[in-house]
């Protein structure tokens, strides 16, 4: 039997190149090799967006459209909405007894995220909610509800998988062998830099290229992208490794990358020409995705049917897990 993978994404915005090359491109390949569950993690998104439910609600469908457009195939994998699986919330409650507060605060992912929040909201402990500190527990429920064996994630998420493994071990040692211990699946993906040269492309950093950006917006963004600051005149030689335009050429230009690089170093290529070529390559890359997205934008009922179908399949699996868990904890009353 093929192994099960489970991974998730928070619906807080549309997909950008960082998501694509950093994660979701890989999901498309994984669905051919594994029984795949892709969770649209709206409950998790609410941990930091509880005051903005409209944003989360709208982005559930946007993320679904993006995922379908890049090739997530509902005939091969199961895409579902987290909040429609109440068993995840139920499991979270039972798992929360198996985790100490100290362990949660020591989780490097949580530590980093709390530090980031403090930098934004000031040093008030009150800004950190119970739900937020506890989201690794809920994520352990996400994974185990579907017997996830492999969890494709970026390196920043490894501490959450480790926390899940600890919960599973503790559960099994107290209540008997019930849950599967998952493993992280680190893929050959890369973290994608932003248009401003920042190490990370992110919505909140305002440096992202979205899969559904129009040609006009792409043109504006690429025309303003950071290039080697030592290059002042068109024919100055430059270092492509210091240039975001070359950086993105590497992602989407499969025809004359060597020429771009050598001409840049020699000084025989101006930045405007180089940017225009990148825009053309970028649009070539994005066109097929955008055409599919356009179809789904015009057929929201198709997207809804896919989500509903995936969610129903996911519900079945989670119900089975819940039965086993309740039996193990001896709360399977009258069943």
**Alpha carbons 144 and 138: distance in angstroms, whole number:** 10
If the CB atoms of residues 36 and 44 are measured against ligand TRP, the closer one turns out to be 44
Kindly tell me which of 6 and 306 has the beta carbon lying closer to ligand TRP.
6
The residues, any chain, with a CB within 8 Å of residue 330's CB and separated by 6 or more, are none
Using rule CB under 6 A, residue 41 touches ligand TRP: yes
Q: Residue 92, interface with ligand TRP (CB under 6 A)?
A: no
Angle (CA) 252-257-259 rounded to 5° is 150
Binding mask 144-173 for ligand TRP (x = CB under 6 A): -------x-x---x----------------
Q: Select the residue interacting with ligand TRP from 4, 7, 36, 227 (CB under 6 A).
A: 7
Contact between 309 and 73 under an 8 Å Cβ cutoff? The reply is no
Q: Is residue 12 involved in binding ligand TRP (CB under 6 A)?
A: no
Q: Report how many residues bind ligand TRP under the rule CB under 6 A.
A: 14
Q: Nearest-5° angle of CA 37, CA 39, CA 43?
A: 150
Q: Does 10 bind ligand TRP (CB under 6 A)?
A: yes
Please tell me whether residue 142 binds ligand TRP under the rule CB under 6 A: yes
Burial label, 118 (beta-carbon count in 10 A; 0-12, 13-18, 19+)? middle
Query: Can you name the residues that pair with 8 across neighbouring β-strands?
Result: 39
Binding residue for ligand TRP, selected from 4, 5, 8, 34, defined by CB under 6 A: 8
Q: Which residue number is nearest to ligand TRP in terms of Cβ?
A: 8
Per-residue DSSP letters for 76-87? TEEEEEGGG-HH
What's the closest the beta carbon of residue 9 comes to ligand TRP, in angstroms? 6
Tell me the closest approach of the beta carbon of residue 86 to ligand TRP, in angstroms: 16
Q: 215: which DSSP letter? A: H
Q: Which two tokens stand for residue 64?
A: 């679904």
CA distance 43 to 39: 10
One of 5, 9, 168, 245 touching ligand TRP (CB under 6 A): 9
Provide the binding-site residues for ligand TRP, judged by CB under 6 A.
Answer: 6-10, 39, 41, 44, 139, 142-143, 151, 153, 157
């Amino acid at each position: 039997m093929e192994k099960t993978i489970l991974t998730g994404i928070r619906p807080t915005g549309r997909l950008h190149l960082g998501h694509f090359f950093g994660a979701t491109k890989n999901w498309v390949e994984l669905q051919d090799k594994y029984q795949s569950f892709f969770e649209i993690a709206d409950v998790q998104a609410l941990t930091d967006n509880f005051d903005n439910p409209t944003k989360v609600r709208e982005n559930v469908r946007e993320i679904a459209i993006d995922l379908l457009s890049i090739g997530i195939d509902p005939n091969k994998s199961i895409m579902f909405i987290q909040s429609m699986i109440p068993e995840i919330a139920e499991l979270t409650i039972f798992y929360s007894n198996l985790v100490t507060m100290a362990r949660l605060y020591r989780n490097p992912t949580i530590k980093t995220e709390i530090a980031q929040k403090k930098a934004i909201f000031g040093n008030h402990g009150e800004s950190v909610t119970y739900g937020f500190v506890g989201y690794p527990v809920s994520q352990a429920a996400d994974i185990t509800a579907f017997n996830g064996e492999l969890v494709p994630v970026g390196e920043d998420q490894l501490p959450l998988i480790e926390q899940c493994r600890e919960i599973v071990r503790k559960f099994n040692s107290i209540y008997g062998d019930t849950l599967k211990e998952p493993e992280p699946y680190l893929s050959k993906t890369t973290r994608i830099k932003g248009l401003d040269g920042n190490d990370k492309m992110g919505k909140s950093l305002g440096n992202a290229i979205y899969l559904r950006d129009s040609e006009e917006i792409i043109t504006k963004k690429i025309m303003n992208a950071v290039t080697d600051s030592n290059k002042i005149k068109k024919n100055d030689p430059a270092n492509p490794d210091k240039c975001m335009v070359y950086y993105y050429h590497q992602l989407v230009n499969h025809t004359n990358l060597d020429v771009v690089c050598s001409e840049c170093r020699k000084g025989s290529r101006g930045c405007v020409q180089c940017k225009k070529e990148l825009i053309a390559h970028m649009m070539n890359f994005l066109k097929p995705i955008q055409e599919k997205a356009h179809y789904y934008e015009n057929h929201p009922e198709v997207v809804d049917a896919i989500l509903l179908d995936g969610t129903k399949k996911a519900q079945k699996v989670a119900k089975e897990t819940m039965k086993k868990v309740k039996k193990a904890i001896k709360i399977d009353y009258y069943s």
